[in-house]
Chain A
Amino acid sequence: DTEVTQTPKHLVMGMTNKKSLKCEQHMGHRAMYWYKQKAKKPPELMFVYSYEKLSINESVPSRFSPECPNSSLLNLHLHALQPEDSALYLCASSQDGAGWEKLFFGSGTQLSVL
């Protein structure tokens, strides 16, 4: 199984809502990532988890809260988002985050904030 599964595929939320994005992989990978991608732009790194510990936070606003409950699961909790947060949110995984590793991406969650 070389898949990274993200749910939901599409999400529309108001600025006062709380929602969560979910990501799952069963490749035995120990590093997991959240990226944000605006239309016609490259993916931008948000968070990196390695062995279930947060190792990189790219100064992401606190309205985005990541969680790694176990080595197969990664969540992104959303609260009080702004319309400019509308984007494709991509989850990825890799062997263990120790470098020289390709990333395996899910198909993303397309988020619209109204």
Chain B
Amino acid sequence: GESVGLHLPTLSVQEGDNSIINCAYSNSASDYFIWYKQESGKGPQFIIDIRSNMDKRQGQRVTVLLNKTVKHLSLQIAATQPGDSAVYFCAENFPVGGFKTIFGAGTRLFVKA
């Protein structure tokens, strides 16, 4: 049978719809958060970031929301396109000696044409 953790959470959306990807972070001392997109055969690529003194930040077609009370981040992608199909990771950055960037579990986004 399947083992827990072998499969990424998956979100399937229709082309043109909006996508929302959620993430829970773990460290209350984290003060900077980043969303990365990873396509097959490539390294993670920066999408958008937000500092802990903000609760919302908008980019081109993407918006990040931060709720520090419940340690939750979300990534909203407007008018999702086939090229948005990828694995999306949230990452938190916190000081410990130097600064660490630690990645969350990831969500696979499928866009149906």
A interface residues with partner B (beta carbon < 8 Å): 4, 31, 33, 40-45, 48, 50, 55-56, 90, 92, 97-108
Mind listing 17 A-B residue pairs with CB under 8 Å? A40-B6, A41-B105, A43-B103, A44-B103, A48-B99, A50-B98, A56-B98, A90-B43, A99-B93, A100-B32, A100-B93, A101-B99, A102-B49, A103-B36, A104-B46, A105-B45, A107-B43
A41 neighbours in B (Cβ, 8 Å) = 5, 105-106
A-B contact count (CB 8 A): 68
Listed in ascending order, the chain B residues whose CB lies under 8 Å from chain A are 5-8, 31-32, 34, 36, 41-46, 49, 51, 89, 93, 95-106
Q: Which residues of B contact A33 (CB under 8 A)?
A: 101
Are the C-beta atoms of B98 and A97 separated by less than 8 Å? Answer: yes
Q: Which of B32, B43, B93, B102 contacts A105 (CB 8 A)?
A: B43
CA distance A55 to B32 in the complex (A): 19
